């Protein structure tokens, strides 16, 4: 489990080195922003936080480097809606297994921490699948979609 940003940076450096990539200043800036946000963020959110911190991160550089970081298993991209990709640090890197809650109305995405009951239910579901088809389940990525509490309030007001 990665609990400090220093540990995070050294693990990222190792992952990049496996693919002969260097941990450049721009890449470090992106990882720093994602670590601080600690929730899935869009490219524009990443750029906004970077500029608040006076980090120089041009949009094309950010986009290109996010793709490389994704390739090296540092970043995971999830699709919140048809036109919105969000980025977060990969589970393999942080050791923080979790799921996502995606609001269909406002597009807000939040982490849902897992617990043993939920994981047991999900592994039962995986066993059911493996009973029916020839597929070895080794993990899962679960995003729950729905209406967040903010949007719910607006609706019932
Ligand atoms: Zn919402
Ligand atoms: Zn899970």
Same domain? For 75 and 104 the reply is no
**108-121 tens-digit pLDDT:** 899 999 899 999 99
pLDDT for 157: 63
44/15 Cα distance (integer angstroms): 25
Q: How far is the CA of 61 from the centre of ligand 1 (A)?
A: 30
Same domain? For 92 and 120 the reply is no
pLDDT band of residue 107 (cuts 50, 70, 90) is confident
Q: How far is the CA of 141 from the centre of ligand 2 (A)?
A: 7
Contact predicate 38/84, CB 8 Å: no
Domain holding 15: CATH number?
A: 1.10.10.10
The whole-number average pLDDT for the span 22-32 is 96
- How many CA atoms does the CB half-sphere of 15 hold within 13 Å? 22
Domain holding 120: CATH number?
A: 3.30.1490.190
Three-state secondary structure along 59-73?
A: HHHHHHHHHHHHHCC
**Residue 63, token pair as written in the block:** 């986009």
- State which residues form the domain around 123: 97-157
Contact predicate 69/77, CB 8 Å: no
Q: How far is the CA of 124 from the centre of ligand 2 (A)?
A: 12
Same domain? For 41 and 17 the reply is yes
Count structural domains, the chain: 2
């Amino acid at each position: 489990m990665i609990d400090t940003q220093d540990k995070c940076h050294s693990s990222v450096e190792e992952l990049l080195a496996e693919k002969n990539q260097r941990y450049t200043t721009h890449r470090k800036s992106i990882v720093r922003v994602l670590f601080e946000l600690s929730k899935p963020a869009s490219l524009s959110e990443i750029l906004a936080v970077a500029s608040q911190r006076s980090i120089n991160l041009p949009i094309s550089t950010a986009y290109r480097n996010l793709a490389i970081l994704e390739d090296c298993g540092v970043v995971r991209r999830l699709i919140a809606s048809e036109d919105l990709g969000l980025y977060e640090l990969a589970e393999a890197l942080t050791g923080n297994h979790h799921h996502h809650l995606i609001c269909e109305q406002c597009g807000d995405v939040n982490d849902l921490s897992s617990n043993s009951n939920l994981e047991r239910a999900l592994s039962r579901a995986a066993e059911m699948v493996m009973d029916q088809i020839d597929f070895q389940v080794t993990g899962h990525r679960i995003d729950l979609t729905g209406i967040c509490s903010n949007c719910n309030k607006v609706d019932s007001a």
